């Protein structure tokens, strides 16, 4: 079974403001005062063509972040850390990538690997529950795709 997630994550306070760029997506509350904006196809299309040289040069795995959305994420990060995470798994094989902004700048280069999303979540302040990683603690395992998150009405 596939698992696909492309999302912007930040504290609920940061994502509660007026965000005209979220298009047909929406803000979904998670645990520990973290919220998520699923990066939908309409949101990507709002930001133009699929060319993403800025991020692709740093991480070929982070291809699902529209490059023209980056300034909005950097601006939001003046209020606190903001992350973009992406993962696609099919039959147990897959990849993860994350990138985090803070104070209007990249906090670090994009990270790839099996702990990439958890690293971003720790930077957002997520504290793992006993026996769980940050990903599971937030409940990011509840839905298996961007569409499932939107359909769940959470």
Domain boundaries, given as residue ranges, for the chain: 3-148
SS3 77: coil
Q: What is the pLDDT of residue 105?
A: 94
Banded model confidence at residue 100, pLDDT cuts 50, 70, 90: very high
Q: Give the distance from CA 126 to its chain's centroid.
A: 14
Q: Residue 57 pLDDT > 90, yes or no?
A: no
Q: Residue 52 pLDDT > 70, yes or no?
A: no
For residues 91 and 61, give the distance between their C-alpha atoms in angstroms, rounded to a whole number: 18
For residues 100 and 154, give the distance between their C-alpha atoms in angstroms, rounded to a whole number: 24
DSSP code at position 101: E
- Cβ atoms 81, 125 nearer than 8 A: yes
Q: Is 77 exposed, middle or buried (0-12, 13-18, 19+ CB in 10 A)?
A: buried
Element (H, E) at 44: helix 41-46
SS3 5: strand
99 vs 109: which has the higher pLDDT = 99
| pLDDT average, residue stretch 102-118 | 90
Q: Give the distance from CA 5 to its chain's centroid.
A: 8
């Amino acid at each position: 079974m596939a698992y696909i997630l492309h999302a912007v994550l930040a504290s609920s306070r940061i994502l509660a403001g007026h965000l005209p760029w979220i298009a047909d997506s929406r803000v979904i509350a998670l645990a520990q005062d973290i919220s998520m904006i699923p990066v939908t196809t309409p949101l990507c299309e709002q930001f133009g063509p699929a060319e993403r040289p800025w991020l692709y040069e740093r991480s070929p795995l982070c291809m699902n972040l529209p490059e023209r959305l980056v300034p909005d994420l950097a601006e939001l990060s003046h209020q606190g850390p903001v992350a973009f995470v992406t993962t696609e798994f099919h039959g147990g094989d897959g990849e993860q990538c994350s990138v985090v902004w803070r104070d209007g700048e990249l906090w670090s280069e994009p990270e790839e690997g099996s702990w990439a999303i958890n690293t971003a979540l720790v930077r957002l302040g997520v504290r793992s529950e006993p026996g769980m990683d940050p990903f599971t603690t937030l409940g990011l395992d509840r839905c298996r795709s961007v569409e499932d998150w939107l359909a769940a009405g959470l």
